[in-house]
Amino acid sequence: MLTPGINLAAIGNQGSGGGFTSADRAVLDGIAAELSIGNGQIPVTITVEDTAGNPLPNVEVWVASDQAGADIVAGPMLTSQQGVAQFMLEAGTWYVWRQGAGERFTNPQAIVVGG
């Protein structure tokens, strides 16, 4: 299970040993990026819009394997200016969660990937 909001690269700044090397940081950044988009093989685009169909930027979106949202498999990430968040998921049923300041969403939204 992933914990939203952890910055793996920042971990190297702790302690008296000088932290991680730049190579270590590059590896951690790659891992963090993979965890945020998911580690599946199927590209999935989530578009978040208001009730008038306008894109909503900077909405936090994440994907869980369970309806309760306890097992986060991808995200959280912010939508682009076009209201888009992209993930890499495996085939199956997933639950998309969204939250943004001043917005009300019905969570979760079930999606079926690859089938």
Q: Closest by alpha carbon to 28, among 51, 12, 50, 44?
A: 12
pLDDT at 21: 80
pLDDT at 9: 42
Q: Which two tokens stand for residue 93?
A: 């049923």
Q: What structural domains and CATH numbers belong to the chain?
A: 38-113 (2.60.40.1120)
Query: Position 57: which residue type?
Result: P
pLDDT of 17 strictly over 60:
no
DSSP class of residue 94 equals E
CB 89 within 8 A of CB 73: yes
Q: Is cis: bond before 76, omega within 30 of 0?
A: yes
Rg (CA), the chain: 16
Q: Tens digit of pLDDT for each residue in 48-69?
A: 999 899 999 999 999 999 999 9
As a whole number, the mean pLDDT across the chain is: 81
If pLDDT is split at 50, 70 and 90, which confidence band does 1 have?
very low
pLDDT at 111: 97
